[in-house]
Amino acid sequence: MKKYTQTILTLLMIGLAVATGTLLVSVWLLPPPEHTAVIAMLNEDMEAGPYPTNVTQYSNISLNIEVYNYLGVVQYFYVRTKLANQTTMANATTPSSAPIILQSDRILAHGERWVIPIELNMTATGTNFRLTFELWHYNPSQDDIIWVRNQRGEGLWVHLPLNVTGP
């Protein structure tokens, strides 16, 4: 009986050591959490599409923009809305050079979500517009509002390709 008890205790100790080692290795090998922000565009029903891409002049466009703060700290965010074309649209390294037509701002805690309902009346006509939504934030060390970038240095923005025809 004594030998049987020693065998069971030995097996339990080995099992505990293996489980603890596995847990420690998996925690040690996990990548650190990525500190990032997210901007997303949803249609008026809060779904990822379909979006209004062909509209008539003076008609309303209804969208929702979502912002998530996963930067690990409280952030003062700005969403800048611009009506760009092919020469003024944003890319991964440069924000759109089109004028700001609407700006919303809000302070978000880490992990907090912000939904911005967008209602725009399109007065201009044309093709190949880009209704652009860029995510900016206040940087206290620079005392400036700067374009939020991901870990690869790419600016965060979404856009809606848009054609606006006469009434």
Q: What is the CATH number of the domain that holds 130?
A: 2.60.40.10
pLDDT tens digits for range 101-141:
999 999 999 999 999 999 999 998 999 999 999 999 999 99
Domain that holds residue 4: 1-30
- Count CB neighbours of 29 within 10 A: 7
Q: Are residues 155 and 140 in the same domain?
A: yes
Which residue, among 63, 106, 105, has the nearest Cα to 80 in the 3D structure?
A: 105
Q: What is the DSSP string of 54-70?
A: EEETT-EEEEEEEEEEE
pLDDT of residue 150: 87
pLDDT of residue 35: 83
CA distances from 40 to 66, 79, 146 (A): 5, 11, 18
Q: Are residues 17 and 43 in the same domain?
A: no
Q: Which parts of the chain sit beneath pLDDT 50?
A: none
Number of domains in the chain: 2
Predicted TM-score (pTM) of this structure: 0.79
pLDDT of residue 1: 60
Mean residue pLDDT across the chain: 88
pLDDT of residue 49: 87
